[in-house]
Structure 1
């Protein structure tokens, strides 16, 4: 065992803090807030994320704990992915029945371009908007933008802004919106389970929890579809960004900024 790994396990302050957060959040339990025909589910994981963020700004968490926690998160996500794989095996016939929908759902991630890019341009963002909106901005996308444009480029700053924002608020947002949409819309729960697989282990777990709580009788199928979807996104997501997402974002950005510039010139002449 390397010295670095030993230091991770010997960081007693980090383990005590995490254990305390788990005790507090599990004691609070799950709360359901009715909103019209739907239900907003507040799960222990949501509390844990909020408490963890709050503790980061206190003297209880040093720089050492924040760095060690980052490495241990990846270990936890690896265990989660392994669980998805084990539970996905028995549900393989159901996954096959889903057909191409399970793989075509990756196209849905391109909605960040069609919705986010126009908003970013209207807000006055320049080429940062390309890095921000070509995908959900996880690790593979940060590597793609850094390789193509450079880490210090405008596009690099954009993708890093979304990466940080997603890391801090992504799990909270996904945990809140997942259960609400699943209970107020007529869309099948398995479709929402596939939608949770966006290529981020923490966001997937946060979005899956409310679905399982809302539809406990479908627990195994929900976990299987979510895990398979997240795996498919992890495998195909980078290629979708390379061949579809990034070129489409570049093209749309050029069209929108050109039209915006033409409009601005016309106003000046008048």
Structure 2
């Protein structure tokens, strides 16, 4: 194991360099009307990682070879697991706060099924996607959802391709879209600030930060309330979103896909991924 790690020194050096560079850049902010767009280190890390991928930028093969690319793929699951474990330590002590938040926060979790209602028909009948549509549309494709797909199908499966594709796009453009939407909706004065704050908590730290930052800029007198409601909503999404996705959304999408594409519904077998991904 140690010998293999030494052989992959290029990969370790690249990961360390990307992490250091992203942290040195830090959080950047661009004002946008009454709101602001936040660019977080995670975004920079993704962009630098793409530029170092030899399948994207051919010249990167001088340093990162296909061997490193193949070795990095299964490490995504390893990197996500500590993040998932952190949910339990965060959710447990905050149970009373979530209960005090009232039924509005609980009922809004049904919105997690909105990706199924809106995105699945487009993915299957408009974009003509295959089983990638299952991973792409059963959730907002954040870390807990990646863990679900990785455990059930593997990240090299079509479902894994779908969830990772949405995860990358969400990371690259999600913060921008959330900041713009929050700023616009705050100025329209149609929805209450508390409702907008709750909508910020979709289970993504970067998206929540961007959304709450934009709302706080637009409504500075309610910044404390916005942060509190968004934090509670995000925490509740972590607590319930993973279970809703695992026991409700994913079986529902599987069933819908089986009705839409019965010929290919059973082509991805659960449990066959471990020999390929590890």
Note whether the superposition's TM-score is higher than 0.5.
yes
Contact 2:116–2:138 under 8 Å retained in 1: yes
C-alpha deviation, 1:109, in angstroms: 1.8
Q: How many residue pairs end up in the alignment?
A: 221
Q: 2:233 aligns with which of 221, 229, 233?
A: 229
Structure 2: stretches of 5+ with no match in the other structure:
1-11, 53-59, 65-71, 73-78, 263-278
Q: Distance in 2 between matches of 1:160 and 1:241?
A: 16
Q: Does 1:179 align with 2:183?
A: yes
Q: Distance in 1 between matches of 2:19 and 2:160?
A: 31
Contact 1:49–1:172 under 8 Å retained in 2: no
Q: Which residue of 2 aligns with 1:194?
A: 198
Q: 1:132 to 1:13 in 2, by over 3 A?
A: closer
C-alpha deviation, 1:243, in angstroms: 1.9
Q: Does 1:244 align with 2:248?
A: yes
Q: Distance in 1 between matches of 2:187 and 2:260?
A: 36
Give the CA RMSD over aligned residues: 3.9
- For the residue of structure 2 that corresponds to 1:230, the secondary structure is helix
Q: 1:189 to 1:113 in 2, by over 3 A?
A: same
Q: Does 1:149 align with 2:153?
A: yes
- Describe the superposition over 1:59-86 as per-residue Cα deviations: whole angstroms up to 9, x where unpaired: 9xx98xxx9xxx8xx99xx9xx99xxxx
Q: Does 1:31 align with 2:35?
A: no
- Describe the superposition over 1:176-232 as per-residue Cα deviations: whole angstroms up to 9, x where unpaired: 222212322511111111111111111110111101111111111111101111111
Q: Distance in 1 between matches of 2:233 and 2:184?
A: 20
Q: Does 1:203 align with 2:207?
A: yes
Q: Which residue of 2 aligns with 1:216?
A: 220
Q: Distance in 2 between matches of 1:202 and 1:172?
A: 10
Range with bigger deviation, 101-110 or 209-218 = 101-110
- For the residue of structure 1 that corresponds to 2:194, the secondary structure is helix
C-alpha deviation, 1:241, in angstroms: 0.5
Q: 1:13 to 1:199 in 2, by over 3 A?
A: closer
Q: Which residue of 1 aligns with 2:141?
A: 137
- For the residue of structure 1 that corresponds to 2:180, the secondary structure is helix
Q: 1:223 to 1:50 in 2, by over 3 A?
A: same
Contact 2:30–2:36 under 8 Å retained in 1: yes
C-alpha deviation, 1:169, in angstroms: 2.0
The structure that is helix-richer by fraction is: 1
- Describe the superposition over 1:140-160 as per-residue Cα deviations: whole angstroms up to 9, x where unpaired: 111211222233221121111
C-alpha deviation, 1:107, in angstroms: 1.0
Q: Which residue of 2 aligns with 1:109?
A: 112
Q: Which residue of 2 aligns with 1:254?
A: 258
Q: Distance in 2 between matches of 1:207 and 1:158?
A: 25
C-alpha deviation, 1:30, in angstroms: 5.0
Contact 1:197–1:204 under 8 Å retained in 2: yes
Q: Does 1:42 align with 2:36?
A: yes
